[in-house]
Amino acid sequence: MNASIKSSQRTLELFELFSLEQRPLTIKEITEALGMPQSSTSVLAKSLVSLGYLEKNEMRRTYYPTLRISLLGTWIRRQHQRAGQLPALLSEVARVTGESTILAMRNGIYSQYLIAQKGNSPTRAQVESGMLYPLACCSTGWCLLTLESKEAVSKIVRRTISEAKNEHWRKSAKHAVEQVELTQNRGYAFSKGETMERLGAISILLPSMPGAYAMSAGCGGWVDRVEGKKDLILGALNELAHSVRQLKDQDEQILFS
Amino acid sequence: MNASIKSSQRTLELFELFSLEQRPLTIKEITEALGMPQSSTSVLAKSLVSLGYLEKNEMRRTYYPTLRISLLGTWIRRQHQRAGQLPALLSEVARVTGESTILAMRNGIYSQYLIAQKGNSPTRAQVESGMLYPLACCSTGWCLLTLESKEAVSKIVRRTISEAKNEHWRKSAKHAVEQVELTQNRGYAFSKGETMERLGAISILLPSMPGAYAMSAGCGGWVDRVEGKKDLILGALNELAHSVRQLKDQDEQILFS
DNA sequence: CACAATTCATCACATATGTGATGGATCAAT
DNA sequence: ATTGATCCATCACATATGTGATGAATTGTG
C-alpha cells in the first residue's frame, strides 16, 4: 500500500511480536517470526537496547522489552476505553461461537484488524492483528462505512476498484454501496465470499466515544458454517457491543466525577 | 558508539511524546517537541498512519495514536506483576510502610510512574502508572535530576516554570535546585507538599545498569503521616535499593562467569 | 575434549530514508 | 473577497540503514 518507513515498521512489529509471545526471544526467533534478515534483526535489537526499550540477557542471548515500553500505550486505555478488556471480550465471542473474532478499525480505504482471536473451527482465513482488507470488501468494512456519507462511500469504492490488488476485490467492491445500505438498515453486516472465496463473516459496529475512531467487531469462517450459526453469532456480537457500551459509560462517569 | 537507528528512535520518541501530552498533536508541535525537521515529521507521521498506529484528523490536521499502540506494552506490566521482581519489591515497601509506592522514570521534563502500588493508608494522591508530575516538583523527580548537570537542571526548572499547568507547581519549581542539591547530599529526596498540597513523599534513586534508563522509587501519602514514618520509609526504600542492587549483581555475575 | 552444528556480530556495498527547498493549502484578519 | 501568515506534502539529492557473506562465539554430542 502506501510507502512506510521500514525500520519504524519493524520496530513496531518487533514489539507486537513480543506482545504475542510475552517471553524473551532470541535473534533467530525474531528473525524467523518477522521474516527479516538475521543481520538486520541483530542491528535493530542492538539499537533498541541502547535506547532502553529492550534488555539483553547476555548469558541466554535473549531480548525482552523493558518496562519503558509500557509507557507508550498504557495511558491511551484510560483515555479512550478499556482496551485491556477488549481482547477478553473478543475471546469470549470466539469461544461461544467457535469462529474467529476480530476487532477492526478504518485505515484509509482499508479495514484493519486491531485484535484477532482465532476460533476453534478450522478456516484458512487470515486473521492476525494489523491485517488489511478493503472496507468495500468485508463485513467489518461495511459497518465502518455506514458512518460515512453516500458520497464518501462512493469515493472509497471507486478508489478500491482502481487500487485493489486482485480481481476478486475489484468485483466485490462493485456491490459495496448496496451492502452498506443493507448493513445500515438491518444493523449488522454479513459477507458471503466477498472478502475471500468461501469465507463469510458477520459484523456489527461498536459504540464509540465522540471524537474517538470507530471500530467494528466481526466473527466468521467458512461461509456455510457461519450461515448456520447466524443467530448464535449475532447474539454473541450484540452481547459484546453491550459490554463495550457499559465500559464506555463507566469511563464517562469516571471522567466527569 | 551508541549507534541507534534514527527512524526507530524517532518512532518511539513520538509515542513517548504522545504519552506526555496525551492529546492530538500537529506536525508542527511534534517537530518542535522532538527537534526534528518538519519534512521528516510529515513523512514519519504518514508512515505511522499507513501502519495503523496513528490516526489523522484531516479537518484539524492533528495526529493521535490508535488503540493499536496500547497492544505494544500493556501486557508487560501484567507479566512483571506475576513473574517480575520489581513489582513484588514495591508491594513489599507499600505493605511495610502502609503508604503508596511508585517506580518512576524521566519523560521530558516530567517524572512518569512506571508502576504504582497503593498503600493501605488513605490518600487523595493520584498514583497510577503512566501519570506525570514535573521532575522539579516531586521527590522522584529530584532524585532523577541528581543525575543531570546544574545547567541541565536549571533549564528544566525554567521550562517547568513557564509550562507548568498550575500555579502550585510553578511555585514549587522555584525551589527545585536546592532540593536536588539536598537530595544529592543526603541520598534521598523528601517532598512536603510540593507535588500536591498536604501530600509528601520520600524517594531514592535506584541503582541502574550502564546504558539502562534511570529509575527512582518513591513512597508517600499525607505529609504529616510520612514525616512520622520517615525512618520506616527510608529503611524500606533502602532495602528495596539493596535488593535491586543484588538483582543487578546477579545479572553481572552471570555475565562474566 | 574435540568436532560439528548453531547462533550471532560485524563489515562493506546496495538500498532506503532524511531533509532543505519549494509551492500549494489552509487559516486569520480585515 | 483579499491579503499575509502558517502549516504541511512533496521532490531530489545527501545521508543513514539494510543485508549477504563471513567468521567468531557458543552449544550440543560422543
For the segment 30-69 of chain A, residues whose CB is within 7 A of strand C: 31, 38-39, 42-43, 45-46, 61
pLDDT-derived band at B248 (thresholds 50, 70, 90) equals low
B82 pLDDT more than 70? no
pLDDT at res. A257:
23
**Four-residue CA torsion sign, B179, B181, B184, B185:** negative
User: Of A12, A13, A55, which to mutate for an interface test with B (greatest number of B Cβ within 10 Å)?
Assistant: A12
Same domain, B64 and B175: no
3-state secondary structure chain B: CCCCCHHHHHHHHHHHHHHHHCCCECHHHHHHHHCCCHHHHHHHHHHHHHCCCEEEECCCCEEEECHHHHHHHHHHHHHHHHCCCHHHHHHHHHHHHCCEEEEEEEECCEEEEEEEECCCCCCCCCCCCCCEEEHHHCHHHHHHHCCCCHHHHHHHHHHHHHHCCCHHHHHHHCCHHHHHHHHHHHCCEEEECCCCCCEEEEEEECCCCCCCCCEEEEEEEEHHHHHHCHHHHHHHHHHHHHHHHHHHHHHHHHHHC
Residue A75 is assigned to a structural domain of this protein: no
Out of A37, A70, A103, a domain closes at A70
pLDDT of residue B210: 55
Asked if residue B59 keeps its beta carbon closer than 7 A to nucleic acid strand C, the reply is yes
Strand partners, B190: B202
Flag whether A1 is in a domain: no
Is residue A154 in a domain? yes
In degrees, rounded to 5, the angle at the alpha carbon of residue B38 between the alpha carbons of residues B32 and B43 is: 125
Give the residue whose CA sits closest to D18 at C1'.
Answer: A40
Instruction: Note whether A146 and A173 are same-domain residues.
Output: yes
Distance CA A145, CA A135 (A): 7
Q: Is the pLDDT of residue A253 over 60?
A: no
Determine contact, residues B66/B53, Cβ cutoff 8 Å. yes
CATH of the domain at B52: 1.10.10.10
pLDDT for residue B213 is more than 70:
yes
Nucleotide nearest to A5 (CA to C1'): C17
Residue A209: its chain B contacts at CB < 8 A?
A: none
B1 falls within a domain: no
The yes-or-no verdict on residue A250 having pLDDT over 60 is: no
Sign, CA torsion A133/A125/A77/A248: positive
Burial of B28 (0-12, 13-18, 19+ CB in 10 A): exposed
Same-domain status, B131 and B26: no
Contact state of A72 with B72 under an 8 Å Cβ cutoff: yes
Is B128 in the same domain as B13? no
To the nearest whole number, what is the mean pLDDT of chain A? Answer: 85
User: Is pLDDT larger for residue A255 or for residue B182?
Assistant: B182
**Is residue A42 a part of any domain in this protein?**
yes
Q: Which is more confidently placed, A165 or A27?
A: A27
Rounded Cα distance between A165 and A1, Å, is 9
Nucleotides of strand D under 7 angstroms from a protein beta carbon: 6-11, 16-21, 26-27
Q: How confident is the model at residue A16 (pLDDT cuts 50, 70, 90)?
A: confident
Tens of pLDDT, residues B4-49: 899 999 999 999 999 888 889 999 999 999 999 999 999 999 999 8
Are B19 and B93 within one domain? Answer: no
Residue B223, domain member (yes or no)? yes
Q: Which residue of A has its CA nearest to B70?
A: A73
How far apart, in Å, are the Cα atoms of A147 and each of A135, B19, B58, B61, B229?
Answer: 12, 29, 16, 20, 57
**Band of residue B100 on the pLDDT scale cut at 50, 70, 90:** very high
Shared domain check, B98 and B193: yes
Please state the rounded mean pLDDT for residues B150-155. 91
B73 in a structural domain: no
Residue B252 has a pLDDT of 44
Domain housing A10: 6-70
Q: What is the pLDDT of residue A115?
A: 79
Q: Are residues A178 and A206 in the same domain?
A: yes
Q: Are A14 and A34 in contact (CB under 8 A)?
A: yes
List pLDDT tens digits, range A93-120: 999 999 999 998 876 688 878 778 888 8
In a domain, A45, yes or no: yes
Lowest mean pLDDT among A141-155, A239-253, B98-112, B119-133: A239-253
CA of B53 to C1' of C14 (A): 30
Question: For chains A and B, what is the number of CB pairs under 8 angstroms?
Answer: 180
Q: Which of A70, A92, A115 is the last residue of a domain?
A: A70
Any CB–CB contact under 8 A between B126 and chain A?
no
Whether A168 and A211 share a structural domain: yes
User: Do A56 and A106 belong to one domain?
Assistant: no
> Do both A50 and A150 map to the same domain?
no
Residue A244 banded pLDDT, cuts 50, 70, 90: confident
pLDDT band at B1 (very low <50, low <70, confident <90, very high): very low
Per-residue pLDDT at B38: 94
Residues A116 and A172 in one domain: yes
* CA–C1' gap, B55 and D17, in angstroms: 27
Q: How many domains does chain B have?
A: 2
Mean pLDDT of all residues belonging to chain B: 86
User: Are A60 and A86 members of one domain?
Assistant: no
How many CB atoms sit inside 10 A of residue A224's CB? 11
Which pLDDT value is given to residue A83?
46
Write the CATH number for A154: 3.30.450.40
Residues of A in contact with B55 (CB under 8 A): 213
Asked which of A36-45, A75-84, A91-100, B110-119 is least confident by mean pLDDT, the reply is: A75-84
Instruction: Collect all residues of chain B within an 8 Å Cβ-Cβ radius of residue A128.
Output: none
Residue A251 confidence (pLDDT) above 90: no
